[in-house]
Amino acid sequence: MMDPERLSNLAKSLLEPDVVERMLGRYALVRKLGEGGAGVVWKAWDTKLERWVAVKEPRLDHGNARERFLREARAAARLKHPGLIQIYEADEHDGQAFIVMDFVEGRRLDETTLNPRDGAALMARVCDAVECVHAQGIVHRDIKPQNILVDAGQAPRLGDFGLAKTLEAGPLTVEGGFLGTPQYVAPEQAAGRLAEIGPRTDVYALGATLYHVLCGRPPFDGEDAPAILGKKLRGEGPRPVSQVHGPLPPALVQIVGRAMEARPEDRYPSAASLGEDLRRFLRGEEPGRRPLSLRWAKRLAPGLAVALLAAAALGTFWVRGSRDAAYETARQKGDELWIRSLGFLRGADRDGLRRVLGETMRAFERATSEAPSRPYPWLMRGRCRMLLGEKVEAERAWTRALALDPACGAALLERAKLHLAAYARLRLPSESADDAALRKKGQDDLAAARAARDLDATALKLLEGLAHLGSRDFAKAAAALRAYTDENSWDASALAMLGAAEYYGGRFDAAESTWTRVIALEPLAERYAARGHARFRLGRHEQALEDYDRAVRLAPDVADAWCDRGAALQAASQLDRAIADYSEAIARRPDLARAFVLRGTARAEKGDVEQADQDFLEAQRIAPFDVDAYVNRGVAFLRWKRTAEAVEEFDAALEIDPGHVEALSRRGVCRLLTLDCEGAMRDFEKALAIAPENPDLHFHRAQARYAKGETAKAAEELKTSLGKAPAGWARRARAEELLREWEEKK
């Protein structure tokens, strides 16, 4: 029994009058949501985080099963996608293994009635979620309507990763053993052929689930498990979907058939390609071309089967010959290796990643040699090159794919991402470059992508967000990138760009949260450094220092990592250690202007005017168009009360980059100090047009308003700055003090 006082406290926390059945660690199990042969799922209250969760207790009959369950569930816990039920943790308590999941209010898909179009649209979204699972090197192995919840907004959420399998992990299941639900599992899973289980195994289950959605019952309905498994082992399929449902659009029948082919190589190569065909159906287009299986041709409506087979005889549908078979073999091998390579992204095994990507490229090169006119192998070769950091070669590959098919949406998306991301990086504050050519390329690709036949609105949001980031409209960039990442939470690069938009837009708390998500996907040095920047601007210098420490450990030869850590040490008034880090950066890269700029700021803070100015001048010599070299020299002059010289430096910075927020802000402060209130207001307003969420800018503009005699407006502006400021804002106490003073004078 629970301690009565603890139970009483717990009851006060609960949001409805459920009875606590028992405790499982810190989780109060209050009501069974479902129970079956595999285990029981509870609605539970997390007493530590004070939230509702779902807790699954599997029935595991031996330690090997428990080890498998925990290993695979923990792997699944890293998945994040709006179409997945989030797993929070997998653990044991008193010998009972369990997983803790997001609690979703909704109905199971098998309890939901949908018309064929709505069913196809919903399953396309499920395919997106499954593609995210596969991209992390995980196979679900138990996709079925009972494991898909449809929430109040009619959005599907796939859950129950109790049987999930990581592709890299060694097998714990005995070869020949069976796991899964007979009606929905693929033949290779039914036979226990573990070596054959991969993404196409889940594609079969998606097809079987679509069958259930269309027909209102599962494939092989009314038969016992041994009979179903026997049919699958013999390669037999269920009753044709059109016979069970009645007349259906031929394209939809064809999609179900291809997804449920007995042989993995005859199915869709990925969940994404199945989702693409479902969306083609919804747009009134024909599914993507493929060899037509005679077995599935017979399962279509008789008249349609005759028409399709006749068309095949006339060459409308390509017939698989020896060359086509060789292409399919090479392409399938490439797809499998690509999925495997994605599993290396989360780890530190860069050599392993390069090795697998090399094998992947060789497979797609073989596919190209077998079918030179197909754009898909060139698309994938470009993706491999991009992961290897070979951007020029990646661009060439995508350009070749587009030469073969100018409307190939996937290639357009990849090339546009490359061009627009590079353009955006060059246009971020503190960087400058002749970006006209990149901007033109990116804009041309974006225009072409808008006209592409198979790019949806979400993909276009990514491109539009990058374009806005390049034009430094950070609010629009963040909105567009957020719309994309909400549906593609696995895309670390897009999330990083969202973090940049939030950071440069002055939303440092949002940027910190976004980069935390990026780190969960890619724990790389530059990701830790980016989060450190946000924490630094939030005044969380100790946390920033931890991030910079991690970046230095992960990339000790990267001079910028030493600069970042030095900046955090400087903020903590550890000037000698900061100068040592900056000097370490200079030793690694004597041409790094940033290191000289930062060492100059630290020396200026110590009062070493001569050496500080030498560092600033050296930075300007190395990089005459580096805005920071001028801004920070101006800040040093401001510190030394040499206001006129400070303004000259800020003017020089703004000649290079007219939209540099820091230069505008600092020049505004200088003008305010010299009682040029109108000039100060102009600078602050220009800066706020770029970074409207920046509390410092509102604070400075409030001071300018007060100096002009606009006390009431100044007080309102201070309230705005306080409302936008994070908890650790350095100027909070001063702003609150001024607000009290000014409100008394209103």
Give the span between the Cα atoms of 574 and 151, in whole angstroms. 53
Terminal CA-to-CA distance of the chain, rounded, Å? 62
Question: Nearest-5° angle of CA 409, CA 411, CA 413?
Answer: 65
Percent of residues in the chain assigned helix, strand, coil, to nearest 5? 65, 10, 30
Q: What is the DSSP string of 154-167?
A: S-EEE---TT-EES
Give 191-232 as a DSSP string.
TT-GGG-SHHHHHHHHHHHHHHHHHSS-TTTT--HHHHHHHH
For 110, 527, 544, 565, 569, the CA distances from 536, given in Å and listed in that order, are: 50, 14, 5, 10, 11
CB-count exposure of residue 467 (10 Å: 0-12, 13-18, 19+): buried
Residue 41's SS3 state is: strand
Burial classification of residue 489, based on how many CB atoms lie within 10 Å of its CB (0-12 exposed, 13-18 middle, 19 or more buried): buried
Chain CA centroid to CA 740, Å: 44
| Residue 142 annotated in active site | yes
Name the token pair of 65. 């099963």
- Give 286-330 as a DSSP string: PPPP-PPPHHHHHHS-HHHHHHHHHHHHHTSSPP--HHHHHHHHH
Single out the catalytic residue among 142, 445, 581, 676. Answer: 142
DSSP character for 644? H
Q: How far apart are the C-alpha atoms of 302 and 297, rounded to whole Å?
A: 9
Residues 494 and 413: their CA atoms lie apart, in Å, by: 13
Structure tokens at 286: 């024909």
Identify the three-state secondary structure at position 47: coil
Handedness of CA 221, 225, 226, 229 (dihedral sign): positive
b/e per residue, 621-652, with b = 16+ CB within 10 A?
ebbeebbbbbbbbbbbbbeeeebeebbbbbeb
The angle formed by the CA atoms of residues 449, 451 and 455, to the nearest 5 degrees, is 55
Cα(97)–Cα(89) distance, rounded to whole angstroms? 11
Rounded CA-CA distance 56/630 in Å is 59
- H helices, E strands: number in the chain: 34, 11
- Alpha helical stretches, state H, 48-102: 63-76
Neighbours of 39 (CB within 10 A): 18
54 forms beta bridges with: 43, 101
Indicate which residues carry an active-site annotation: 142
